[in-house]
Amino acid sequence: MKLFTLAVLAYLVLSISGIAWGLNEYVFEPEEYLIYSTAIDSWCGDDKLAEIFIRDHTAIYQSGQPVETELNYLREKMPTLGDQIINDFKAKNIKAYSLEPFLNQRANCTIVSQAELNAIFDHNPYWDRYYRRNPRSEGIITFSRVGFNQTRDQALLHVGSQWDRATGSGIYIMFSRQKDSSWKVESELRSWNSWNRDNPKP
């Protein structure tokens, strides 16, 4: 009876630990924000006047493709990623997560809520209104969560960018950790692209 009781207690402890681990499994890490900053600086870090507007929730645009189709495309085009990093990326991007402000980049960044965007985009002509309010903006960026490999020296990020009603693009970015613990862009892969010839803002 005593052994049975101990076994039950051990099971409960392990179960509770597992639940706690599951709840904390995808909590944001400081490294993710460093990678966001690295991505921003790689595009416009030298433009001191640029304004970067970032949605306050993570997301990944699937372009109508099943997730596995998208991941197989990644495996084919970025074979050095490996399954560990792709699986971590997939697990973290099943749902949306809230972003906190981050200040490691050189460019001027603002986290914007959906309510703030709705105040602009619920009224036509919405993109004209947006650029009147934010003339230095390069559009609106949406970040995914960052996937890591097991040794945490490789990372994968998806960035979506929209700058007009029918104009935007998405890109996967692979990073490698450097000896000084900074991150470096290693390669990029376009995931989708939509172009409005009337507004070629990059």
Residue pLDDT, tens place only, 119-156? 888 877 788 888 888 888 888 999 999 999 999 999 99
Q: Is the dihedral of CA 64, 109, 36, 95 positive or negative?
A: negative
Task: Please indicate whether residue 55 or residue 14 has the higher confidence score (pLDDT).
Answer: 55
Q: Is the dihedral of CA 198, 142, 139, 133 positive or negative?
A: positive
Q: What global pTM score does this model have?
A: 0.80
Number of structural domains (the chain) is 1
Interstrand relation of 51-55 and 108-112 (parallel, antiparallel or unpaired) = parallel
Please give the structure tokens belonging to residue 61: 């645009």
Q: Which domain holds residue 161?
A: 29-194
The band of 63, judged by pLDDT with boundaries at 50, 70 and 90, is low
Q: Give the pLDDT score at 100.
A: 87
Q: Is residue 24 part of a domain?
A: no
Q: Is residue 95 part of a domain?
A: yes
Q: Is residue 139 part of a domain?
A: yes
Q: Is residue 21 part of a domain?
A: no
Q: Is residue 12 part of a domain?
A: no
Q: Is residue 5 part of a domain?
A: no
Which one, of 57, 58, 74, 56, lies nearest residue 66 by Cα?
74
Q: Give the pLDDT score at 21.
A: 34
Q: Is residue 16 part of a domain?
A: no
Task: Please indicate whether residue 200 or residue 29 has the higher confidence score (pLDDT).
Answer: 29
Q: Is residue 149 part of a domain?
A: yes
